[in-house]
Amino acid sequence: MTKQTPALSVQPQNPIPLAPSPIKLLTPNTPKFATSNLFPQPNNQLNDSIENNLRVVIKLNQRRVYLYQNQQLQTSYPIAVGREGWETPVGEYQVIEMISQPTWEHPFTGEIIPPGPDNPLGERWIGFWTDGKNYIGFHGTPNTETVGQAASHGCIRMFNQDVLALFQRVKIGTLVIVEP
């Protein structure tokens, strides 16, 4: 497999393989795929003050994600991380995409999986890495038994109720730190 570093300025220590795409999201920004509902960002000042000084820290070896605000731990959630050969990239990133009820395209067959209980992305998508074709992010999962495991193609799988809570707290631009 060919390995390639991401297009972002931060270079991960363990870049993921890029063929075929681990996640194909169907977003309004990528019309060649199909459609999805990009979740609108909140406009009120209360949400802006809540999200101020917010950062998300993924600790791969602990299989947990931690949410900090003003250097204070707010909460943490169990996660699944990238499996061998598809490791979650280590580094500093930002939330670049948020989608409610995502649609997914199977990377091998091209089958379109609409939002719903069988969608591998669950109820929410929070993207933080892309090379322009492949995406990595937080998402829910119908396969709850994989949470706590190295089971994904680089993404951070979460219980649906946990990704819903995280989705309410973060916004585009929120810092995401991935540690070994």
Which listed residue (24, 139, 157, 171) is catalytic?
139
Inter-residue contact 127 to 135 (CB < 8 Å) = yes
CA triple 45-163-7, angle to 5 deg: 85
Which listed residue (67, 121, 155, 166) is catalytic?
155
Q: What is the CB-side half-sphere exposure of residue 154 using CA atoms within 13 A?
A: 26
Residue 155 bears catalytic tag? yes
- Both tokens assigned to 65: 């994600």
State the Cα–Cα distance between residues 175 and 95, nearest whole angstrom: 7
Residues that are catalytic: 139, 155
